[in-house]
Amino acid sequence: MKVISSVKISEDRLAKLLAVQPQAQIVQVKELTERDEEAEILLTYGWDVKEQTLNLYPNLKWLQSLSAGVDMLPLAKLAERDIILTNVRGAHKIQMAEHVIWSMLMLLRQGVVFVRQQEQKLFSAKPKVDEMYGKTVCIVGAGTIGREIARKCSAFDMTVYGISRSGRPDPAFARVGTFEEMSEILGLSDIVVVVLPLTSDTKNFVDAEFINAMKPGCLLINAARGPVTDEQELLQALQNGKIGAAALDVFVQEPLPEDSPFWGLENVFITPHIGGRTIQAADRMWEAFTSNLSKYPNQDKINNIIDLSTGY
């Protein structure tokens, strides 16, 4: 079997891949521009794969994305060609959950304010510090990452609700509601965390109706994708106090432009799309691919197969 990788593979990781599939021919390329009729597997982060890219590999059977999100990929074309798509679902749950907890603490314990005071050499305890204890949190996107966030929130004695398309009960949550029940749960929640995948159904999901359903002064954490939020509605809600404060790791345009009004808001904690990035993250991502490669071509045993009709 031939694997084309647009991701640089270190020698030790290459050795691990060949150990589980000794017959594999793994070719590393800088760009996916050369036609290859023998390639069965494509390894990529996803950003470099367009519809025309797939035409270069007429015998492609499996595309492995080292990203959790697959919204950038030509899903319809993959479905038309009956190409299996897998991601690294689960490889980001630990660091994403820690990022969300950190974001909550930064907002509740006035982290941004105290950093500014340190820069000014100002030793003042005037900023009001709040607690996670006893708060109610709503996690919009009760999947693998949402479940890990819920588990960690419970350790802080928070009441944790989840929102998912199915509303299927999950022991990590006190309650999981459907999208139709979301308004009620938003109105009960002190903190709202958004970790939805970006699909055609979730673009601008956090819109005026969503924001109006939130408890006045509620905190918002977006660790999903920028386009999941209607940024104009979000900006207005932060300016008028409908949303008390927000931790934003993702934006519609990245890097966030210097003239973006979000930079000037004192009630916003901005991070540069780092929720899934830690020193350990790459190892988990490679473990996911190595495991799948060891099972190929047995599709029944391959993990994290994406439903191409839904995008997750």
User: Each residue of 261-289: pLDDT tens digit?
Assistant: 999 999 999 999 999 999 999 999 999 99
User: Tell me, what's the pLDDT at 72?
Assistant: 93
User: Tell me, what's the pLDDT at 3?
Assistant: 98
Other beta carbons within 10 Å of 288: 21
CATH number of 93-270: 3.40.50.720
225 is catalytic: yes
Question: CA–CA distance from 136 to each of 46, 131, 166 (Å)?
Answer: 36, 11, 21
Task: List the beta bridge partners of residue 206.
Answer: 229
User: Tell me, what's the pLDDT at 95?
Assistant: 97
pLDDT band at 176 (very low <50, low <70, confident <90, very high): very high
Is-above-0.85 flag for pTM?
yes
Of the residues 273, 277, 284, 287, only one is catalytic, namely: 273
For the chain, give every residue range classified as CATH 3.40.50.720. Answer: 2-90+279-301, 93-270
273 is catalytic: yes
pLDDT band at 195 (very low <50, low <70, confident <90, very high): very high
Q: Looking at residues 214-239, what average pLDDT do you find?
A: 98
CATH number of 2-90+279-301: 3.40.50.720
Write the pLDDT tens digit of every residue in 107-152.
999 999 999 999 999 999 999 999 999 999 999 999 999 999 999 9
Provide the percentage of residues in the chain whose pLDDT is more than 70. Answer: 100
Q: Looking at residues 232-241, what average pLDDT do you find?
A: 98
Q: What is the dihedral of CA 21, 25, 30, 31, to 10 degrees?
A: -100
Q: Looking at residues 57-75, what average pLDDT do you find?
A: 95
148 is catalytic: no
Which residues are CB-neighbours of 94 under 8 A, at least 6 positions away? Answer: 148, 278, 280, 284
Helical pair 93-108 and 111-119, crossing angle rounded to 10 deg: 70
pLDDT band at 192 (very low <50, low <70, confident <90, very high): very high
* Residue position matching structure tokens 């994406």: 306
Of the residues 89, 92, 99, 225, only one is catalytic, namely: 225
